Amino acid sequence: MTNRLHYADNLDALRAHVADESVDLVYLDPPFNSNANYNILFKSPAGLAADSQIEAFEDSWHWNNAAEDAFEQVMRSGHPRAFDLLRAMRSFLGENDMMAYLSMMAIRLIELHRVLKPTGSLYLHCDPTASHYLKLLLDGVFDKANFRNEIIWCYRKWSVAQGQFVRNHDVILFYSRKEGSQIFHTLYGEPSPGTMKRWGGKRQRAVFENGVRKAASTEDAARSPLADWWDISILNPNSKERLGYPTQKPLALLERIIAASSNPGDLVLDPFCGCGTAIHAAEKLGRRWIGIDITHLAISLIERRMKDAFPGVQFTVEGTPKDLASALDLAERDKYQFQWWAVAMIDGVPLDGKKKGADGGIDGVIYFKPDGKRSEKALISVKGGHHVGVQMIRDLHSAMEREKAPIGVFVTAALPTGPMLREAAAVGRFTDEWGRGWPRLQIITLAELFRGVRPAIPFADPLVALRRARREETSRQDAFF
Ligand SMILES: C[S@@+](CC[C@H](N)C(=O)[O-])C[C@H]1O[C@@H](n2cnc3c(N)ncnc32)[C@H](O)[C@@H]1O
């Protein structure tokens, strides 16, 4: 089985593409029901334009038909204990955002339980607003005997809290699929400064018998078994790891989970994979992997992250349009995801089309340096509809004038009309430092995109604005514990 990324709702992808008892380790970091919307920050080249933000995903759930449907699916799922708990929560909480979130999580936890091998484990990353409800749900789906740890990931983050302590931790709930059968490697950490002092500054191995520590031996191994609270820094704004995706988790956290609960060659699944931290850590530690995310922005970001960090890495991407018919289908189903996909196809940076009037019909930008120094931009306009007309070309031309963009790219599902082609040609040519001419307003059809046609732009800098992942030195195999 090859490594795979799925652009899909994880419930659909799990049901259609992940077999029973086929996965060794699941890590999931679902949106927390914090009622926040998360933006990806795309940095512009210095001096060219303000940085742009684009809404990556919404972190809010509402009680609606979809939530009611998820609730009913849990009822029919053959997990009566999970349903009993969910029903009790509904009578306690009522029909609100939290209940919608829990219903949506319950049906997905049931699928994740199905795909785990008997030797497998699941780590659910959440925060204290929902961790107590989620633990009950996990007890219902996995059985309380399979609860292994509540891991507290603590970090330092400057924030203010009125009338309470600052909340500076996340909760990671660790369950095994079958008690006593799970793959688990004890990890070791540094002894505390107090212990080191007692040991006279010498590193020693602590020896345990029936869970009780005996007198330390004199080995200089510096190892004490890792406890269930982990002090790992969050990614600060200047961190080299940071890619600009909101809620990105540190690699060190995921490496620890994967090293503890899987073996090299095992299959790791992240059904809410965001910018792919779990996938990156899995590849680094020589595991196979599956990542699923519902937004195309995340999937295109991971594709690049993996290629940057692991040149030559092998994986497939499922669910993104592979031909004209599937591209048209995406355009019909979701206008914004279609625009993001089309912009990524031509190595552009997406703009947030959802914000009314913010971009004047511009869906993305390609930055380029015609003289190798000065940054210019090409504006992208994407149209997925069946009807296009000459006014759309005029609109793109006016946006180019307004934004002082030498080039405009019009991507269209429908064939352009004769007047559109004439209007585009009339915009003229852009001449670079070397006297080469480039059409200023270029029209590309979806069919041409699939034939490999790309905009003609001098020295385009693909996705210049996204932070790039650093290349990993080697594929390490549990080297660090
Ligand atoms: C908190 S982020 C995950 C961040 C990730 N752990 C990382 O380090 O980058 C949650 C992700 O879940 C995705 N998501 C939300 N609902 C989903 C669904 N039903 N199916 C698949 N992905 C979903 C969002 O698009 C978002 O990227």
Q: Which residue has the tokens 């970091």?
A: 29
Closest CA to 40 of 54, 51, 21: 54
Distance 311 CA to ligand 1 centre (A): 25
What's the CA dihedral at 416, 400, 381, 47 to 10 degrees?
Answer: 160
At 189 the pLDDT is: 78
Query: What are 302-321's pLDDT values in tens digits?
Result: 998 999 999 999 999 999 88
Centre of ligand 1 to C-alpha 273, Å, is 5
Length of the chain: 481
Distance separating alpha carbons of residues 284 and 286, to the nearest angstrom = 6
**Among the listed residues 189, 88, 169, the one whose alpha carbon sits nearest the alpha carbon of residue 129:** 169
Tokens of residue 180, six digits: 């006593």
Report helix, strand or coil for 258: helix
From the list 302, 253, 259, the residue with the least C-alpha distance to 121 is 259
CA dist., res. 356 & res. 370, Å (int): 32
Residue with CA nearest ligand 1 atom 4? 274
Q: What's the CA-to-centroid distance between 208 and ligand 1, angstroms?
A: 40
- Best of 59, 273, 292, 302 for a ligand 1 pocket test (most atoms within 8 Å of beta carbon): 273
Give dist(CA 189, CA 295) in Å, integer.
37
List Cα–Cα distances, 102 to 45, 109, 265, 335, in angstroms: 42, 10, 33, 28
Distance 8 CA to ligand 1 centre (A): 11
User: Which fold does the domain 4-184+228-318 belong to in CATH?
Assistant: Rossmann fold (3.40.50)
Q: Which atom of ligand 1 is nearest to the CA of 27?
A: 6
The answer to whether the CB of 18 falls within 8 A of the CB of 290 is yes
Closest Cα to atom 2 of ligand 1? 274
Pocket test for ligand 1, best of 249, 275, 294, 320 (most atoms within 8 A of CB): 294
Weakly modelled stretches of the chain, pLDDT under 70: 1, 33-60, 191-192, 199, 201-223, 352-360, 460-468, 473-481
* Ligand 1 pocket, Cβ-based, cut-off 6 angstroms: 9-10, 29-31, 57, 245, 247-249, 272, 274-275, 277, 292-295, 298
Q: What is the dihedral of CA 387, 390, 392, 398, to 10 degrees?
A: 180
Question: Which residues, 6+ apart, have CB-to-CB distance to 16 below 8 Å?
Answer: none
Give the residue carrying structure tokens 């512009």. Answer: 44
| Non-local CB neighbours of 344 within 8 Å, separated by 6+ positions | 296, 300, 350
Shortest-distance atom of ligand 1 to CA 30: 10
Measured by CA distance, the residue closest to atom 26 of ligand 1 is 274
Instruction: Give the residue, out of 29, 60, 251, 293, with the most ligand 1 atoms within 8 A of its beta carbon, to mutate for a pocket test.
Output: 293
Give pLDDT, residue 479.
33
Q: Which atom of ligand 1 is nearest to the CA of 298?
A: 27
Q: How many CB atoms lie within 10 A of CB 202?
A: 11
Residues of the chain with CATH 3.40.1350.10: 324-450
Selection from 2, 5, 11 nearest residue 299 by Cα: 5
46-67 pLDDT tens trace: 545 545 555 556 656 789 998 9
Q: How far apart are CA 457 and CA 397, in angstroms?
A: 17
Fold classification of 324-450 is Trna Endonuclease; Chain: A, domain 1 (3.40.1350)
Query: Range(s) for CATH 3.40.50.150 in the chain?
Result: 4-184+228-318
Return the percent helix, strand and coil in the chain, to nearest 5.
Answer: 30, 25, 45
* For ligand 1, mutation pick of 272, 290, 301 (most atoms within 8 Å of CB): 272
Centroid of ligand 1 to alpha carbon of 312 (angstroms): 26
